[in-house]
Copies of this chain bind each other. A is one copy, B any other.
Amino acid sequence: MTTDTPARLLRLLSLLQTPREWPGGELADRLGVSRRTVRRDIDRLRELGYPVQATKGAEGGYRLVAGKAMPPLVLDDEEAVAIAVGLRAGAGHAVEGVDEASVRALAKLEQVLPSRLRRRVSTLQAATDPLTSGDGATVAPETLTLIASAVAGQERLRFAYRSRDGTGTRRLTEPYRLLSTGRRWYLVAYDLDRADWRTFRLDRVSDPFATGARFTPRELPTGSAAEYLRQSMYRRQEAYAFDVTFAAPAELVAARLPGWLGSPEPVDEHSCRLRGTADASPAWLAVRLALFDCEFTVHEPPELLGCVRDLGARLTRAAGGTTP
């Protein structure tokens, strides 16, 4: 236990993050310094922008409260594992607006995650995410974080890519941005061999590898990466339109809808119609629709219709073949 000031500040921060009140005396004991020094340390934390609330009088104490900036989170082993598992599960069904930040956070965490915890994370992860099963094309979290790191660190990225017709190629790219359209992940990158910009579906990427080589990012011809991706997807017609009527008010459907699927238009008070586009397989969308516990009708496309019919038939069979 050295008398190192910065180390003590970090320990104080970690103590204060436990959601409870800490009397000054106890903090002084734990940190091995005098009460006065504890007060000074707390002043320092406040100056750093991490407000510490103090209740005076007997039974008083200190407690870290919400401030203007996020203080460094001090996590114990189990909490770190929980966050990693949660983020990896979440990386599958990405929520619009958080997806990319979520992967960044995961990359940051896994960069420093002790190896003994890493094992626990991968073990636990097997038990998660029922929804990924609907559509075979999933992305390994390792792939996601590795590519996110390469984007952030501006390192060249090499990987194997399986194109739509099944042929495999090896690519050397300058990764530009990671994007998700609800269900799928895409990488927008400059392909060095083809000497042009490309978009890659991450579920077709394998063996990604960050060569240490740094690069200075080129300018994307189209304005934003999201715009470029959208154009590229429409060009290849990877997305398809669907059309469904729900026997529920529009606002109810909207509240329970992933958002990136589109927004429903009210037909009358008790029903609404949803026309949108999806880039996932119809089978996955069918399961998704089954989750709504209200009547609905599928109009388009025929593939979706077939999937819903099959799922319905399977469930009916499941209920029919009962044994007394």
Contacts and interface: CB of A to CB of B under 8 A. Distances in A.
Contacts of A14: 72
A29 B265 CA distance: 55
Contacts of A68: 114
A207 interface: no
B289 A318 contact: yes
A19 B107 contact: yes
Interface stretch (A30-38, A222-230, A234-242, A254-262): A254-262
Contact of A128 (B95, B104, B286): B95
Interface stretch (A149-157, A184-192, A194-202): A149-157
Given A299-B322, A319-B309, A258 B127 contact: yes
Interface string A277-305: 00000010011111111011111000001
A80 B70 contact: yes
Given A76-B70, A111-B65, A128-B95, A312 B315 contact: yes
Contacts of A154: 20
- Looking at A118, A283, A287, which has the most chain B CB atoms within 10 Å of its CB? A287
Interface string A104-120: 11011101111101100
A233 to B, nearest CB: 21
A1 interface: no
Contacts of A137: none
Contact of A256 (B69, B102, B130, B290): B130
Contacts of A131: 130, 291
A95 B127 contact: yes
A50 interface: yes
A87 B315 CA distance: 32
A93 B131 CA distance: 12
A44 to B, nearest CB: 7
A5 interface: yes
A126 B79 contact: no
Contacts of A66: 111-115, 118
Contacts of A312: 312-319
A68 B108 CA distance: 16
Copies of this protein, total: 2
A4 B40 CA distance: 13
A220 interface: no
Contact of A64 (B13, B87, B111): B111
Contacts of A79: 101-102, 104-105, 108
A253 to B, nearest CB: 11
Contacts of A217: none
A6 interface: yes
A105 B67 CA distance: 18
A17 to B, nearest CB: 5
5 contacts: A13-B72, A19-B107, A64-B112, A93-B130, A130-B288
Given A82-B105, A130-B258, A289-B318, 12 more contacts: A14-B72, A19-B108, A65-B111, A66-B114, A66-B115, A72-B73, A80-B105, A83-B102, A126-B255, A130-B288, A290-B290, A316-B316
